[in-house]
Structure 1
Amino acid sequence: MDLRELKYFLATAESGQVSRAANALAISQSSVTAAVRRLEDELGAPLFQRTASGMELTDAGRELRASAQDILDRLERARHITHRQSAVTGTISIAASYTVMGYFLPYHLDRLHQLFPGLEIRPSEQPRESIEEGLLSNRFDMAVMLTSNTANPDLETETLFRSRRRLWVPNNHRFHQAGRVSFADIASEDYIMLTVDEAAQTAMKYWSVLGMQPRVKLRTSSTEAVRSMVANGQGITILSDMVYRPWSLEGKRIGTVQTEREVPTMDVGLAWRKGMEISGPLAVFHDYFRHAFLSPQSPAVVGRG
C-alpha cells in the first residue's frame, strides 16, 4: 500500500467513476483501476461495487475512505508545518446547522487552526431559519450548512459536496444482500424517521413523489437513536453517507443498500449574503474549503463525527 494508491482510491470514491478520477488526476484509467485492485488484494475485501452507473463504495470501502483521508491529511499538515500562515489574523463569525456541526465542521476547524493560528473562528450552531436571518442581518459572516435545504434568493450558496442517501438496515436484514431495494418493499417495514435539520420534510418530499408513505415507528431528532434502533432490528431508515457509521453505540453492525429509485443527495456547502465582498480573514476561510473540495487535484475531505 502506498500513498499514490490511496490518492487514486479517494479520487474514485469522490467522483464515482474511474474515468472521472483519471481525468482529475491527469493519469490513465488503467492506472486508477490497477491501484484500486492492488488495494483490494492487499485488504482482502472489495472496496467498490461495480455498477452500470459507476463505482459504489462497499462498507469496507467507506471505512478505508475515512482512514485514507486521515493519512493524506496528516501528510499535508506535515508538509505545511514550516509554512504556517501566521500572517493571517482576524476574527470571523460562522454559523452551522446541527448535522454540519456534528459530522463535518469540527475536523475542518481544527485544520484551519493548524494552518492559520492567527485566525479566530467563532462558530455558532443554529437551525436553517436562524442561519439565513443571521447572514442577512450581518450577525454571521458566512455559514456552513445544508445547501440542499435553502433556496433563499437573498443568499449566495456554493455546494462543496453531495452526500448520497442510502437505506440503512441491520447487518442480518433480508435487504442487506439484495443489491437494490424498491420503495414498495421499504414501505412494508417499520421506519425510523430522523427529524433534525428538516430531514423528515426532505424524506416526505421524495416519498410523496412516489405516492407512498413510510410506516413510521419513531420520529426522533437523535441520529444516534436512529442508529441504535436500526442496528437492533427495530426499523430501517434512509440517511446520508455523511452521517453513516457501520456500528451502533451497542457495537451492532449496520449495513447500507441502494434504493432502486434515486434519492436526492444531502448537499453541504457555504452560504453568505448576496453581494457581500469576500475578503480578508473571510476569504481565507472561503478559499480553504474551495481548495479542499473543489480543486480537481485535491479529493474532498468529509469531516469525521
Structure 2
Amino acid sequence: MSRTPSLRKLRYFIAVAESGRVTQAAVDLNVSQSSITTGVREIEEELGVKLFERQAQGMLLTREGTRFLHRVRHIFQAVDEAFDSTRMHSPTLTGSLELAMSYTVAGYFLPPLLAQFQRRYPGVSVKLHEASRTDIQQGLQSERFDLAIVLVSNLESDTPLDHHLLIRSPRRLWVGSHHPLLQQRQVRLADVAREPYIMLNVDEAESTAMRYWAPSGLSPQVLFSTSSVEAVRSLVANGSGISILSDMVYRPWSLEGRRIEHIDLSDPIPTMDVGLAWDAGRGLTSTAQAFHDALIEMMAG
C-alpha cells in the first residue's frame, strides 16, 4: 500500500526544485545532503514517477515534477492557512499599518509573509509603500510610515532607527550553465574582473558592490547596469555576462528557460541582511507591534 510523503520530505522536494541543487537545498534547510537525496528518492518511489532529471549541472524538474511542485505548494499554503485560522491571536485588533519597503523586499521577500499576517489579523488595513532607503528613514522619522522592512545591512551606523534582523542572505557569483568558471576549483574576484559584468543598480546594489570590490584593488567590467533582476538573470543565463547577487533573488532559470548556476567566491563578500526598522524615539504602534511580532515568529518557524 502506498504511503503519503511526510511534510518534511515535501519541504526537501521544494528546496531542490527551487535551487536546482541538492547541496544548496541542504544548506537552505540545514540538513545533510544524504537526507535530501533519500527524501526525494523516497517520494519518487512512493509516487512511481520521476520528478527530476539528474544532470551534471544540477537537478532539472521533469514535466511530472513541475506539476507535482505546483500541487505541493498548494498543500503548504493550505497548511499555513489552517494554522493561521486556529492559532490564538487578537481578533479584536483593528487599525491601519503604514508599511514601507525597498524594491528587493517587495518583490522577493514580503508577499507570502504579508498574506499570512493578513489572514491572522483581518481587522488591520495594511498600506504598502515602496521607497528608497533614505526616503524610508525620513518617512519613519516623520511618522509617515509606522514600520519598514529594509536591507538593514545598508543602514547608516548613526541612524536614529531601531531594527531587528530577520535573515542574512549570502551573495554568490551567478554564471550561465556552461561558463568556464564552473570548472575552476576556486573563484576569486580577480577572475570575475576579467569577465563582462551585469550590474544591478537598485537598493544601493551598485554602491554596496563597490565597497567589497574596493579592498581588492579591482573593479568589475560593467557591460550593462540595470534596475531589473530579470534582465540580469536573462543576460547571465544567455552567456552575455556574470553578476554577484544574493541568494534571496536567485532562481535557477531565466524567463527563457535557460539555466543559471551560482558559485561561492573565495574573497569575503558581505551578506545582504533584511530586517524590520522603526523610529527609535517613537516606538511601535499596536498594529506595527503585531506585524513585528508576527514576522519574527514566521521567520523562526
Q: Which TM-score applies when normalising by structure 1?
A: 0.78
1:222 and 2:228 matched: yes
Cα shift readout 1:168-225 (whole Å, capped 9, x = no counterpart): 0011111234354111111111001111110010111101111111111111111111
Change (3 A) 1:159 1:235: same
Q: Distance in 1 between matches of 2:189 and 2:243?
A: 11
Match of 1:244 in 2: 250
Change (3 A) 1:179 1:6: farther
Tell me the secondary structure at the aligned position of residue 117 of structure 2. helix
Q: CA deviation at 1:45?
A: 7.3
Q: Give the letter for the 1:77 counterpart.
A: E
Worse-matched range after superposition: 179-188 or 259-268: 179-188
Match of 2:84 in 1: 80
Within the candidate set 119, 134, 138, 2:139 is matched to 134
Change (3 A) 1:14 1:124: same
Residue pair 1:176, 1:257 contacting (<8 A) in 2 also: yes
Q: Distance in 1 between matches of 2:164 and 2:53?
A: 34
1:186 and 2:186 matched: no
Match of 2:6 in 1: 2
Q: Which TM-score applies when normalising by structure 2?
A: 0.79
Change (3 A) 1:98 1:235: same
Aligned length: 269
Q: Distance in 2 between matches of 1:285 and 1:248?
A: 33
What CA RMSD, in Å, does the superposition of the two structures yield over aligned residues? 3.0
Q: How does 1:133-152 map to 2 (within 5 A)?
A: 133-151=138-156, 152=158
The percentage of counterpart residues that share the same residue type is: 42
Q: CA deviation at 1:82?
A: 4.1
Change (3 A) 1:272 1:173: same
Residue pair 2:198, 2:223 contacting (<8 A) in 1 also: yes
Q: Distance in 2 between matches of 1:163 and 1:70?
A: 26
Structure 1 unaligned regions, length at least 5: 19-31, 48-57, 299-305
Q: Distance in 2 between matches of 1:113 and 1:2?
A: 28
Q: How does 1:88-107 map to 2 (within 5 A)?
A: 88-107=93-112
Q: Distance in 1 between matches of 2:259 and 2:26?
A: 25
Q: How does 1:1-305 map to 2 (within 5 A)?
A: 1-5=5-9, 13-14=27-28, 16=30, 18=31, 35-42=35-42, 60=59, 71-83=75-87, 85-151=90-156, 152-293=158-299, 295=300, 298=301
Q: Distance in 2 between matches of 1:161 and 1:4?
A: 22
Residue pair 2:149, 2:276 contacting (<8 A) in 1 also: yes
Tell me the secondary structure at the aligned position of residue 153 of structure 1. coil
Q: Distance in 2 between matches of 1:263 and 1:163?
A: 11
Q: CA deviation at 1:36?
A: 3.2
Cα shift readout 1:134-160 (whole Å, capped 9, x = no counterpart): 011111001001001112431111110
Structure 2 unaligned regions, length at least 5: 16-24, 45-50
Q: CA deviation at 1:241?
A: 0.8
Change (3 A) 1:59 1:75: farther
Change (3 A) 1:235 1:182: same
Q: Give the letter for the 1:235 counterpart.
A: G
Q: Distance in 2 between matches of 1:192 and 1:271?
A: 30
Residue pair 1:179, 1:257 contacting (<8 A) in 2 also: no
Q: CA deviation at 1:265?
A: 0.5
Q: Distance in 1 between matches of 2:126 and 2:38?
A: 41
Q: Distance in 1 between matches of 2:267 and 2:133?
A: 28
Change (3 A) 1:46 1:186: farther
Worse-matched range after superposition: 99-108 or 184-193: 99-108
Residue pair 1:59, 1:246 contacting (<8 A) in 2 also: no
Q: Distance in 2 between matches of 1:232 and 1:225?
A: 11
Residue pair 1:194, 1:219 contacting (<8 A) in 2 also: yes
Q: CA deviation at 1:77?
A: 1.7
